[in-house]
């Protein structure tokens, strides 16, 4: 009896020959190619204007490349309909930004629960999952606190809980420590490491070389090109 070939799991993120040109002719990415496998912790690092924010938008399915291919979980973004892209984004990608984007008059648990609004889940179940996500990031004692009652580091933890409450395989963190002091920033980086250790693939987009150097894999971007890639030994 012939043994069937093993199924190959596609990379979680795959960019191949990607160029991107904004309206007006600004060419921001040039022939960018790399892959990110399931369970990796990766920094995309570069100075302002290097193209890393454009990479975030393409990987996050917020924009479509001018040419080349962007695949998320094996799906070619360019051939998907908008409805399919929205569904992929909602189920597979969590976002964390430098600014926390929390609703000011809403408790931490409801801010996190709002991350499930478009998943067809009832309010009670949303709150239950939100409480679990907040405990996961160390904020089980801050469930009913509103953003003005939280420190900067706690606000970022709420934002991270909101990003992971739906269990996405990919977390995109855009300058996650940029608005924090050194101690709070270090705690957030440690939290991202912990999430990665439990199976979440984490991409950190940053200009902070010190932060990037502390992560196992670094993709350095300059002038819209991959300038260097450092992989784990």
The pLDDT of residue 117 is 82
Lowest mean pLDDT among 2-6, 122-126, 145-149: 2-6
Total Cβ atoms within 10 A of residue 53: 18
Residue 197 has pLDDT above 80, yes or no: yes
Residue 99 has pLDDT above 60, yes or no: yes
pLDDT (tens digit, 9 = 90+) per residue, 1-44?
555 555 678 899 999 999 999 998 999 999 999 999 999 999 99
C-alpha distances (whole Å) from 67 to each of 10, 16, 26, 167 are: 21, 9, 14, 31
The pLDDT of residue 204 is 97
**Selected residue with higher pLDDT from 8 and 215:** 215
Residue 232 has pLDDT above 90, yes or no: no
- Exposure string of 97-133, with b = 16+ CB inside 10 Å and e = fewer, is bbebebeeeebbbbbbbbbbeeeeeeeeebbebbbeb
Q: Give the mean model confidence (pLDDT) for residues 70-75.
A: 97
**Contact (Cβ atoms closer than 8 angstroms) between residue 107 and residue 155:** no
Total Cβ atoms within 10 A of residue 81: 8
Share of residues in the chain with pLDDT > 70 (%): 97
The closest alpha carbon to 97, from 49, 162, 165, belongs to 162
Domain extents in the chain: 13-230
Question: What CATH number labels 13-230?
Answer: 3.40.50.300
pLDDT-derived band at 120 (thresholds 50, 70, 90) equals: confident
Share of residues in the chain with pLDDT > 90 (%): 88
């Amino acid at each position: 009896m012939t043994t069937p070939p093993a199924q190959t799991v596609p990379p979680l993120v795959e960019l191949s020959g990607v160029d991107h040109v904004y309206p007006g002719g600004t060419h921001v990415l040039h022939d960018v190619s790399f892959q990110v496998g399931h369970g990796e912790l990766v920094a995309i690092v570069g100075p302002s204007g290097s193209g890393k924010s454009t990479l975030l938008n393409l990987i996050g399915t917020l924009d479509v490349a001018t040419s080349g291919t962007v695949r998320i979980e094996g799906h070619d973004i360019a051939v998907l309909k908008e409805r399919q892209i929205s569904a992929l984004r909602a189920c597979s990608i969590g976002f964390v930004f430098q600014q926390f984007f929390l609703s000011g008059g809403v408790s931490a648990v409801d801010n996190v629960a709002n991350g499930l609004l478009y998943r067809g889940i009832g309010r009670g179940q949303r709150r239950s999952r939100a409480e679990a996500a907040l405990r996961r990031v160390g904020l089980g004692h801050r469930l009913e606190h509103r953003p003005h009652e939280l420190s900067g580091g706690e606000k970022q933890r709420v934002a991270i809980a909101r990003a992971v409450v739906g269990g996405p395989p990919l977390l995109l963190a855009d300058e996650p420590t940029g608005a924090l002091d050194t101690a709070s920033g270090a705690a957030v980086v440690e939290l991202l490491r912990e999430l990665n250790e439990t199976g979440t693939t984490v991409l950190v987009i940053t200009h902070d070389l010190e932060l990037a150097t502390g992560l196992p894999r670094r993709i350095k971007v300059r002038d819209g090109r991959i300038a260097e890639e450092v992989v784990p030994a």
